[in-house]
Every structure is written in C-alpha cells, then in structure tokens.
Structure 1
Amino acid sequence: MTTSDPTVAQRSYRFDERDGMIPVDPESLAARVAAARPHDFASYRQTGIELMLLGRYESALDHLDRALELVDTQSRRITVWINLGDVHRYRGDAATATVLFRRAVDAARATAPEVLSFAVQHLGKALAEQGDLDAARDLLREALHLRVGEGDPELIESTRVALETLDELPIPLPPAVAALLGDTPTFSGDHEGMSGDVIFVNGSYWIKRGPRAVAEHERLTWLRGYGIRLPEIAVFEADVLVLADAAAASLAAAGDSAEVGQSVGRALGALLRRLHEIPIAECPFDGRLDITLAQARRHVLEGLVDPDDFDDDHHGLTPEQVLRRLHDDRPDESDLVVAHGDFTPPNVLEGDILLDVGGLGVADRYRDIALAERDLREDFGDDAVRAFFAAYGLDAPDQRRMDYYRLLDELF
C-alpha cells in the first residue's frame, strides 16, 4: 500500500538510523529505473518510489503525479498521497509533506481504514522530525494499536521502533547554524507576515529550511552584485538559511493614508524598475511559463491549491479550471526581465530591502507588475497604483497580461 508494502520495491531499500529509506544496491536500482517503461498506475507508482530512493525527487514527483491521475480507488489515492508526502519530506519540504500526510489520515479515517495505519505512522514520523513529539507519540501509538489488530509482525515492529526512537527524530540544525544560534535558541512563529516557512530566532535572525531555502540562498548570492539591497546572510549550511534581521518593517505595514499609499507605490515602482533593468542574459534562473505552468500543474494534481483563497473575481473557479484557462489563454513571452516572482509590499522592507527572492528568474515583466498592482490597489487605493506605474515608467499597462499573471498566482 505504501512504501512499506512488500510488493513495492521492498527488496530495494533499507532504513537508516533516522528511519529514512536508502537503497540497498543503488547501481542495480538505477539500472532498473533506466529500463522502466511505466504505463499504468502500479508501474508509475513503483518507478516514482524507486526514483525517490535514488534521490531524484523531481522525477519521482512527476511519476507519482502521473500515478495520481490514474488512480481508480480511494485507497490507492491515499497511498499515493503518502508516497508524495515522503518525497517532499526527503527533499526537505516538511510543510508540504505534512499537508499531504494530514490529508491521507483524514481520508483514511473517513473512507479507507485499511490504509489508516500507514497514513497515521507517516504523519507521526513527519511531526516528530519537526519536533512536535507529543502529537507524534499519539499518532504512533494509534498506528501501533491498529497494526497489532491487523497482525502483521513486520509492520508492528516498524512502529515499535519508531516509538522507541522518537526522541531522536527531530532534525538537528547543521553545526554552523547551531553554533550561531547557541545551545538554547528561542524560536517564534509570531511575526509580521506569519509565513509558514520562516521562523524568527533569538530576536535577531530569520531561519528557513528546505528546497525553498536553497533556492533563496542561490538567488541572494547571485543578486547581491547588482545594486539591490538584500537581507544579510548570517550563515547557510546544508538546506538551512539564516538571515540577519534588518530591523525594518515591510511596506505593507506603512499605514493606510493616501499619502503613505503613494509613497509605497513610488518605492515599489522604483525598486522594480531597477530589478527589471538587470540584463536577463546574466541571470541563470528560469521563471518562464514552461517552468511555472509545470509547477502549477503539480500543485493542482497534488491538491495543494485552496480555492477558498482565490481573489474575489476568481471565486467559483476550481483549480483545474484555472489551470485549463492558463493554458488556453497563455500569452507570448516577448518582454522578458529578471522577475522577482512575488513582488508585493510585504516582500519589500523600508529602505528598499528586497525579501523572499526564492522564485526569482527570467520571466515576463507582468509576473511582477500584476501582483504589485493587485496588492497596492487592495491595500492603498488607486492613487498608490498610479504612483507605482509612474515610478516604474509604464504609461499604458497591458490589462490582459496583468489579468493572466494574477490568475497564475492563484495556483502558488
């Protein structure tokens, strides 16, 4: 049913000391994957799992997404959600993994009790890695109770081991990060913006972890030579990025008077113009539609899009309808710039300090313009939008492109 099912690559992996799967014979496994020609649910799923064992996470997600499209029972759908959660967990994206595991648990409780023990155990291990040991212990005890009732000695033993090693599962910080933060760091998720992938530490640092942190570090390092003010990198090791607090508020918190709104609009427009003037030939990162639409499709297939969060004029649409419209109405990309990817007032601090550059790459300029215009109009009004366009130097905005890239953002 899951990666613990003996019919799925059971002889291809073993568990390491952190309860992670590693291949027993990587060379033979790689040869089998290279020869694979998946054509149905089972073969796409098995190849996806084997690609995960080899650490080829993007390809693993592609194959498991295809398996998800081919499912014919709720039980199979749940097991693929668990497999997808494992891939995200192993690549360091704990937040997405937890979403998928929670969904698997909820669905199994409602409609597929035969896979509930798998779903509960995977969620328990994921929460243990994130340090939520009380919740993890409750889930693993539930999994053990279920498995004792099912009577499979191998599964019972795996859950017992997970419970016995529970205190060892929280993922430690890399040495350089731990040295910077000290023996008893104080973590806080209570901060402006409340982003789920950034934590305030010791009142002085912001810490991010996983593939998004790696992407942001790469872009911060590259962008620093182009005259854009950026947060200072305190330390980066493995997949952990620590940024020094800039001691400045975001432009989203500047106030709501008309005069303040125009000031925010001018600041955003001037900064975006400078960013968009960087030569695209020098940018190694790609954010064009071939890339972003593939990412959007993955988000839709894996159920990671919440239509309740859509803008008012998109309410009533399903994520699938939005994706279809994006493909049907896709514009040409003849006006490329170095785009931020999420250029909004919360991502610019006072003093023109640019934040959250993990999505930066070559893309149509309207990918940034559309989001800036939307947030400025909603939060500060029409005068702020006019000030933004004047500072940016755009006399006649292309409404069709603004509408398209605002629709694209619904899937991110």
Structure 2
Amino acid sequence: MTASRFDERQGMIPVDRAGLTARVAAAAPRDFAGFRQTGIELMLLGRFEEALDHLDRALELADADASDGLGSPGQRRISVWLNLGDVYRYQGDLGTAERLYRRAVEASRECAPAPELLSFAVQHLGKALAEQGRLDEARALLAEAQQLRIAEGDSELIESTRVALETLDQSPIPLPPAIASLLGDAPTFSVEHEGLSGGVAFVNGVYWMKRGPRAAAEHDRLIWLRGRGIRLPEIAAFDSDVLLLADAGVASLARAAVPATVGATMGALLRRLHGIPVQECPFDGRLATTLAQARRAVCEGLVDPEDFDADNQGSTPERILARLHEQRPQESDLVVTHGDFTPANVLEGAILLDVGALGVADPYRDLALAVRDLGDDFGPEAVAAFWTAYGLDSPDQRRLDYYRLLDELF
C-alpha cells in the first residue's frame, strides 16, 4: 500500500498524495483484491463515497476464488468490514463504524485460524469507542488486543496497542470551538429521550446535539428551508460536523392524545412542504438515489430484518431490495419531500424535525410513512383527518405499499 501516516482526527493521510491520486486514476479493479485496494486508497484520499462503492463491490466478491492468498471468504469479509468501518469513522459516522467493527469482532471470534484478524478488529472497535468517550469499554478491548498481540509476538503491533492504551484519555474527539464555547466547561449529555432516533444527545437540558455527515446534511437543509413557510427548530450553533439545535420546549406529536388533531396537523404541514416549488430545491430524494442507498445498506449488512413490519417478517433484506427493483413505479408529480415524515418528527405547533433526508421525490415517499404510523399509533380517525387536511381523496395504494416497503431498508 502507498505510504501513509495516521492522524486520529483525520484517519490515514497519504504521504505522496499526488502519486496516490494518479494511481487511483489508473486503477481498473476486476477482482476482490483490486476493489479492496482501490477502496482503501480512495479512503486515504478522503473520497469516502467512492471508497464505499469499491469496498461494497469487494464485499460482494469476497466469496469468489480465494487463490490470491488473501484468506478464506470469512476472513475477506472481516477485513472489508474493518475497512468500511474506517471509512465511516473517518467521515464522522461513528455509529455506523461501531456496528461494522462489532460485526468484525464477532466474526473474528469464530474464525480461530486468524487471531491477528481478531486483534485488529478488537483494536479498531476499542479506538472507535474511545473517540466517543466510552473509555472503560475501550480500555477492556485494547487490553484484549494487547494480550492477543503479545501472544503473536509482533513487536510493531504490540507497540501500536501500547500507545493506544497510553493515550486513551486523549482519544475522545473534542467538540469544535463554537460548540464548546456555547456548552461550557462541563456539559451534561443524555441519550434517554422520547420520540427521537439514535445519534442525538440532549445537552444541558437546553440543546439537541448531532454530529457527523448526517448532521451536516441536516444543517444544509435547515438553512435552505428557512423562509419557506415551515416552522423549524432554531439552530443554536454549527461548527465542523456538529449541529446544535435549541430545544423547542414542546413534545412531539407521537405523544399527543387526540387522533384527529395529530392527523390534521401532519396533513396540513405536509401539504405546505409539498407545495414548495421543486425547482428551488437542490436536494435529491428520488429512487435513483434512495435505491442506491438501500443497496449499500443491504450489502454492508446494516439492515436488521427483525425490525421489518409484520407482513415482511421472514423475508430478507436482499429479497426486499429485489422486490423494490421489480416493482419500481414511475415517479410523477415530484415535490419537496421530508423523507421520514412521522409523528415523532413533528413537534406540537407543527415544528418539523430531522430534515436530513429532505429532497425532491414522489410525494408518496412521505405519504406512505405518515399514514402507516398514524394508523398504527392513532387509528383510522387520525388517517382520515390527515387525508382531509392534505387534500387527497383517492390515494394510490400501490405507491403507498411501495414506499412503505422501501422504508424497511432504512
């Protein structure tokens, strides 16, 4: 591999960037080794989306002919999971990185002939947890990696783990200056809150904090939505990849008690959002984009079939993806969609949350999730009130079913 140095905040940095860029430009990978190598090199260049594409292809080829000496199919998958985890980690998506590292650790523990692979997996996971400030968990994993490496007798790897343990207290990624100055010297964080997805922390009882590429995407969309007739949370600060939103002081509609009010509020709000001129929107949520995202999630094993709706229990992510391609509808009457329009993402007062997936798409991208959750949580009265407020008399059931199926992979 091209020579590189390591920086904990930026990942692997190529020493000869120009040479590596030329090498990647000339690459024409055709097999597992080629796609993996080019994926790693793209990661070194910070071209993360391209790196993910190449590593996903390597993962698909992991079961191919293993005569190249790169290990069994199981060992190949573990190595690519670690590489994928690195890409997500270096671009700031620590949650996804942790999931991939954990899968690599679990698989490595079952792969007895490759103790070195286990030491790499354990160390990667330990360092990722350390960056999140979970130092006790990180210390236990790094100590395990050290013992594995001592048993193997590789002095360079032993030293790597020793340094990681020695600098553990310096590992948590600091908050950017604008965020740190607002939160003070000893902020309090809570991840125990209602109605919101993971990756969100409630800070000092006043702010909601997100970080990583999804936070940056949400910030861009919040800025764009300002002045377009949609009530939004106030941006308290944004720096680097950290977004701080002021708490609105009200609950989400998921906690509301009057079904008709919930349905009517959501229907009226969605009608306003869908009424924004699409030619003004720079963000894309159409099927070419979302199906590519779904394919990546399936390939990387990020979809949990146990979370499927009741009518899809027993199916697999691969089969769901195949059905989505087989049944793909024409996209017509494009609008500005939210992408995850549920009662949990609307506050009392019709304040819209979690707009990181907002983009131009078929309106049924939102309609399907809205009526699903309203029906499940509030019953037919809420659904009827929603359709009345939205202004659609005869919804297309086939498109409702399709976009509900698509959501299984997200």
- Give the TM-score, by structure 1 length: 0.96
AA at the equivalent of 2:366: D
1:66 aligned to which of 54, 57, 62: 57
Question: Of 390, 402, 406, which aligns to 1:392?
Answer: 390
In the alignment, which residue of structure 1 is the partner of 2:262? 264
Matches within 5 A, 1:99-248: 99-112=99-112, 113-114=114-115, 115-248=117-250
Name the stretch that deviates more: 146-155 or 29-38: 146-155
1:35 equivalent to 2:26? Answer yes
Alignment of 1:396-411 (within 5 A): 396-411=394-409
8 Å contact 2:9–2:173 — kept in the other structure? Answer: no
Count of equivalent residues: 399
RMSD over equivalenced CA pairs, Å? 1.0
Query: What residue identity is the alignment partner of 2:303?
Result: V
Give how far 1:328 is off.
0.4
Corresponding residue for residue 67 of structure 2: none
Alpha-carbon distance in 1 for matches of 2:53, 2:195: 32
**What are the Cα deviations for residues 376-398 of structure 1, in whole angstroms up to 9, with x where unaligned?**
00001111101100100000000
Q: Does 1:55 align with 2:55?
A: no
Amino acid across the alignment from 2:162: R
Give the Cα–Cα distance (whole angstroms) in 1 for the partners of residues 141 and 6 of structure 2: 20
Letter in 1 for 2:399: R
Residue aligning to 1:4: none
Q: Distance in 2 between matches of 1:354 and 1:294?
A: 26
Kept in 2, the 8 Å contact 1:12–1:29? The answer is no
Q: TM-score, normalised by structure 2?
A: 0.96
Distance in 2 of aligned mates of 1:360 and 1:17: 32
Q: Tell me, what secondary structure is at the counterpart of 2:244?
A: strand
Give distance in 2, aligned partners of 1:169 and 1:69.
Answer: 33
Quote the offset at 1:196 in angstroms. 1.3
* Equivalent position of 2:302 in the other structure: 304
Residues in 2 aligned to 1:411 and 1:315: alpha-carbon distance in whole angstroms: 13
Task: State the alpha-carbon separation in 1 of the partners of residues 374 and 3 from structure 2.
Answer: 53
Distance (whole Å) between structure 1 residues aligned to residue 109 and residue 341 of structure 2: 40
How many Å separate the matches in 1 of 2:349 and 2:363?
23
**Residue type at the aligned position of 1:200:** F
Letter in 1 for 2:6: F
- Please, which moves more after superposition, 356-365 or 188-197? 188-197
**CA separation in 1, counterparts of 2:129 and 2:10?**
13
Q: Deviations over 1:117-172 (max 9, x none)?
A: 01000000000000001111111111111111111122111111111111111000
Secondary structure at the aligned position of 1:226 is classed as coil
Amino acid at match of 2:404: R
Alpha-carbon distance change, 250 to 17 in structure 1, aligned in 2, over 3 angstroms: closer
Q: Which residue of 1 aligns with 2:291?
A: 293
Looking at structure 1, the residues matched to 320 and 8 of structure 2 have their Cα atoms a distance apart, in angstroms, of: 43
- Contact 2:332/2:362 (8 A) holds in 1: yes
Post-superposition offset of 1:17: 5.7
Distance 2:237 2:155 in 1: 45
Amino acid at match of 1:338: V
> Structure 2: how far apart are the matches of 1:295 and 1:16?
29
User: Tell me, which stretches of 5 or more residues in structure 2 are unaligned?
Assistant: 64-72
1:25 is matched with which residue? 16
Aligned partner of 1:45 among 36, 47, 54? 36
Kept in 2, the 8 Å contact 1:18–1:169? The answer is: no
The answer for the alignment partner of 1:3 in structure 2 is none
Give 1:316-327 correspondences, 5 Å limit.
Answer: 316-327=314-325
Deviation at 1:190, TM superposition (A): 1.1
Contact 1:133 1:166 in 2 (8 A): yes
Alignment deviations for residues 12-33 of structure 1 (CA, whole Å, 9 cap, x no partner): 2111265831111111000000
> Alignment partner of 2:28: what SS?
coil
Cα shift readout 1:356-402 (whole Å, capped 9, x = no counterpart): 00000000000000000000000011111011001000000000000
Aligned residue type for 2:137: A
Does the CA contact (< 8 Å) of 1:187 and 1:202 recur in 2? Answer: yes
Cα gap change, 1:243/1:150 in structure 2, threshold over 3 Å: closer, same or farther?
A: same
Say if 1:194 and 1:251 are closer, same or farther in 2 by CA, change over 3 A. Answer: closer
Matched residue type, 2:310: D
**What is the alpha-carbon distance in structure 2 between the residues aligned to residue 317 and residue 149 of structure 1?**
43
Q: Unaligned regions of 5+ residues in structure 1, if any? A: 1-8
Q: Mark the CA change 1:248 to 1:17 in structure 2 (over 3 Å): closer, same or farther.
A: closer
Q: Secondary structure at the match of 1:225?
A: coil
| Residue equivalent to 2:77 | 77
CA distance in structure 2 between the partners assigned to 1:351 and 1:334 by the alignment: 31
Q: Distance in 2 between matches of 1:363 and 1:19?
A: 34
Task: Answer whether contact 1:19 1:162 (CA < 8 A) is retained.
Answer: no
* Alpha carbons of structure 1 residues 17 and 250: separation in structure 2 relative to 1, 3 Å: closer
CA distance in 1 between partners of 2:153 and 2:370 (Å):
57
